[in-house]
Amino acid sequence: MFSVVVSLVIIAWLVYSMIVKKWRPQAVLFLAGMMMLMIAVLAHIGPVLPDKRSTGSAWLDLFKIISDLLHNRAGSSGMDIMAIAGFGAYMEYVGASKALFAAVGSPLKKLHSPSVLLVAAFLVTQVLVLFIPSHTGLALLLMVTMYPVLIRLGVSKLSALGVIGCCQFIDLGPGSQAENFAAQICNIDAATYFVKYQIPIALPIIAAVAITHFFVQRWFDKRDHFVPDVSMKAIEQEGDTSRPPMVYALLPVFPIVLILGFSPLVSSSFRIDVSTAMVLSTFIALCFEYCRLRDGRAVAESLMKFFNGMGKSFVNVVSLIVAGETFAAGLTKIGMVDTLIAGAQSVGLSIHAMIIIMSLLMALSAFLMGSGNATFFSFAPIVPRVAQFMNVDTVTLLLPMQIMTSFGRVVCPIAPPIIAIAGMTDVSTFKVVQRTAIPMLVAAILNIALDFAIFVR
């Protein structure tokens, strides 16, 4: 009981600090984890580290835990995540993302029914998210490319924002940082996690959300008495001179082709990991740039965009993972996880109930924090222990949790991508999440139902 009370008090402080005080998640998670670890030492709740890894002092072991986490994450999943971010930064720099949208999004202009156009636009975003895995980055790209097209063809401002706000409602594909972290925790190859586990759940959810957008956005437009404003045709900008040649649309596709092509899924005799695929794809992009610019110095200088992207990812993402794992270590060492497991055992919780509880916890936390990654990286490390107790594969419990965190972020009015797109159109973030809430509710229900139907035995 002591561990539960202390943990809940610290978690309440954590939520208050991040939401009300707006402190950085990394600092708050580090502090929360360290507080619980210190209390565990003071209360003599078992050793902080096993003897073979201990420094000999329980107090020094507190910092050894963080050091070990930094070593582990910087060298494994951390490197994959940094390579993904570096490649993404380079794609943005050379304009490949714009070329990809021009190739995938051009058929939208041939549709003239606003409701059908919305469904098609949403499906296009789900293709793009495989290659542009940043929610904020993709949303901003869509605001300068897709949004003017939708408005020009008679879609209301809020309906367009509702679809764009949901552009990355699932962290999907080998380019997703959360997906790679989940695969690491489950000891599964990233390509296998994507194809064997994510796709069977993601595809029906995407179809259901697309249909839901059709009815929800049309209902809201009728309620608001929306009438298309033909004067807004001038918003569309023809002839984007900043866009590179259309062949650049191939560049963001290369990593996924390499990761899936050289994986156990196709019985290839070759193997390529995520970071290698990103480095190789960046090298291919450098060759494209040299052929376009014929300036070796400029191309060599552009490589720094890749390394700068890696550095920013270490600051923003890898540090968040380590902070989250420190928080999870605190929950474990103080006894909160053992108490949770014992409580589930005493009341006879089934795996179905545990999946629902853990998934709803993820969605609620992501909604409160406005960040799916902050939530997932904080709680994911404790999942293998819970899954072992429930006698199920880790992926059975972790997969619906990983998918659910994105839903909470999409309906959060303080989430960065929602703030960004609302700010560009001078509308309230609450009006945007009003348009995303019902599609995400449908997605949440279907996510849990599909996990039960496909993976829970």
Q: With helix as H, strand as E and coil as C, how does 194-220 read?
A: HHHHHHHHHHHHHHHHHHHHHHHHHHH
Instruction: Name which of 147, 139, 168, 159 is nearest 105 in CA terms.
Output: 147
Determine the pLDDT at residue 372. 76
Model confidence pLDDT, tens digit, residues 103-116: 876 777 677 788 88
Instruction: Name which of 381, 417, 422 is nearest 401 in CA terms.
Output: 381
Model confidence pLDDT, tens digit, residues 359-392: 888 888 788 777 777 778 878 888 888 888 888 8
335 neighbors 325 (Cβ within 8 angstroms): no
Given a cut of 60, whether residue 65 has pLDDT beyond it is: yes
Query: Which range (85-99, 240-254, 350-364) has the least confidence?
Result: 240-254
Query: Which range (50-64, 66-80, 138-152, 298-312) has the least confidence?
Result: 66-80
Given a cut of 90, whether residue 442 has pLDDT beyond it is: yes
**pLDDT tier, 1 (very low <50, low <70, confident <90, very high otherwise):** low
Global pTM value: 0.76
Residue position matching structure tokens 């993302």: 97
Query: Which range (75-79, 331-335, 430-434) has the least confidence?
Result: 75-79
383 neighbors 401 (Cβ within 8 angstroms): yes
Across the chain, which distance is largest between two alpha carbons, in Å? Answer: 74
- Mean per-residue pLDDT for 335-352? 74
C-alpha–C-alpha distance, residues 39 and 3, integer Å: 9
Residue of 429 and 209 predicted with greater confidence: 209
Model confidence pLDDT, tens digit, residues 255-274: 888 888 887 777 667 778 77
Task: Please state, in angstroms and as integers, the Cα–Cα distance from residue 406 to each residue in 12, 176, 262, 417, 434, following that order.
Answer: 22, 12, 28, 12, 16
Query: Which range (126-135, 324-333, 416-425, 430-439) has the least confidence?
Result: 324-333
Residue of 163 and 4 predicted with greater confidence: 163
Given a cut of 70, whether residue 344 has pLDDT beyond it is: no
Model confidence pLDDT, tens digit, residues 220-268: 999 998 877 544 443 444 445 567 888 998 888 888 888 888 877 776 6
- 59-68, 141-150, 293-302, 333-342: range with highest mean pLDDT: 293-302
Determine the pLDDT at residue 198. 93
By percentage, how much of the chain surpasses pLDDT 90? 26
Instruction: Name which of 136, 131, 90, 101 is nearest 240 in CA terms.
Output: 101
Determine the pLDDT at residue 457. 67
Given a cut of 50, whether residue 173 has pLDDT beyond it is: yes
Task: Please state, in angstroms and as integers, the Cα–Cα distance from residue 266 to each residue in 6, 176, 182, 308, following that order.
Answer: 49, 21, 22, 34
**pLDDT tier, 164 (very low <50, low <70, confident <90, very high otherwise):** very high
Residue of 343 and 35 predicted with greater confidence: 35
Determine the pLDDT at residue 232. 43
What's the mean per-residue pLDDT of the chain?
84
C-alpha–C-alpha distance, residues 452 and 457, integer Å: 8
Query: Which range (146-160, 226-240, 275-289) has the least confidence?
Result: 226-240
Determine the pLDDT at residue 234. 38
Domain edges within the chain = 2-454
C-alpha–C-alpha distance, residues 23 and 203, integer Å: 36
Determine the pLDDT at residue 74. 67
Q: Which residues contact 424 (CB under 8 A, 6 or more apart)?
A: 140, 143
Distance of CA 334 to the CA centre of its chain: 29
By percentage, how much of the chain surpasses pLDDT 70? 93
- 184-188, 197-201, 410-414, 415-419: range with highest mean pLDDT: 197-201
Task: Please state, in angstroms and as integers, the Cα–Cα distance from residue 402 to each residue in 335, 369, 398, following that order.
Answer: 24, 15, 6
What is the 3-state secondary structure of the chain? CHHHHHHHHHHHHHHHHHHCCCCCHHHHHHHHHHHHHHHHHHCCCCCCCCCCCCCCCHHHHHHHHHHHHHHHHHHCHHHHHHHHHHHHHHHHHHCHHHHHHHHHHHHHHHCCCHHHHHHHHHHHHHHHCCCCCCHHHHHHHHHHHHHHHHHHCCCCHHHHHHHHHCCCCCCCCCCCHHHHHHHHHHCCCHHHHHHHHHHHHHHHHHHHHHHHHHHHHHHHHHHCCCCCCHHHHHHCCCCCCCCCCHHHHHHHHHHHHHHHHCCHHHCCCCCCCHHHHHHHHHHHHHHHHHHHHCCHHHHHHHHHHHHHHHHHHHHHHHHHHHHHHHHHHHHHHCCHHHHHHHHHHHHCCCHHHHHHHHHHHHHHHHHHHCCHHHHHHHHHHHHHHHHHHHCCCHHHHHHHHHHHHHHHHHCCCCCHHHHHHHHHHCCCHHHHHHHHHHHHHHHHHHHHHHHHHHCCC
Determine the pLDDT at residue 440. 95
